[in-house]
Amino acid sequence: MDPSQGKVVVVTGASGGIGAALAEELAQRGARLVLAARRRDALEEVARRSGGAEVVPTDVTRRNEVERLRDRALARFGHVDAWVNNAGRGITRPLEKLADEDVDAMMRDNLKSALYGMQAILPHFRESRRGVIANVSSLLSRVPFATIRSAYSASKAALDSLTETLRIELAQELPDLRVVLVLPGAVATDFGTKALGGGPDSRTLPGAQPVEEVARIVADGLWAGPVDIYTRPEGLARVLGHLRGLAGVPSGG
């Protein structure tokens, strides 16, 4: 039996992209879903394609709305098994051109939204002594090769740090609570066109990973395996190569 069978999973940013694909993948595996995003009509369409789900229109940049999302999930199903913080947004602007509001928007949309999710669901997971928190980051958080995404990369690096800190903090107290970090590279979604300032369509980028493939890898990794999920094996190799270069270590060292 697939480990997702019967599990209750909350997915934010579920109206499109990775979130929508993950919802459909988990539904095929028998999970029970609570889907959150700002657009009710888009959420309802994803729920329809997923065979039915609890739809909770939510602005995840507002703490009270994230707490309401948690409460709706618990009211519907009585418990939550996994919470996926997937909502986020990009930006197309080099560092020299960043304004205060650009940085504030990236930290609000990509860091604080996930923080609110983690803080909302942690009391429930403490009570149940198990669960999964998954934060969707980006390979750009560790290898910032797309300089037009400067503030986005920085916000995702902060998310990585927050995730790893929580993992260490809870390791002894709650050994059955998995804190997962998802690190995709370029994915064939409309992420690029929806970035602040516009930008290249991610679906046209050479080698962009099919979103359905990303969803399968994330669904496989929620319950077991490495807690850092690189959606392509070469992602980890790229990070290690980048770190060796920074440290002045030859590629064969």
As a whole number of angstroms, the distance between CA 135 and CA 139 comes to 13
Q: Could you tell me if 111 and 89 are in contact, meaning their C-beta atoms sit under 8 angstroms apart?
A: no
Measured in whole angstroms, the distance separating CA 130 from the mean position of its chain's CA atoms is: 20
State both tokens at 208: 């962009």
CA distances from 210 to 152, 244, 250 (A): 21, 29, 33
As a whole number of angstroms, the distance between CA 8 and CA 3 comes to 11
Q: Could you tell me if 51 and 113 are in contact, meaning their C-beta atoms sit under 8 angstroms apart?
A: no
CA distances from 87 to 18, 124, 252 (A): 9, 21, 38
The CA dihedral of 181, 187, 190, 191, to the nearest 10 degrees, is 40
Give me the residue label for tokens 């009585």.
78
Q: Could you tell me if 54 and 76 are in contact, meaning their C-beta atoms sit under 8 angstroms apart?
A: yes
Q: What residues are labeled active site?
A: 152
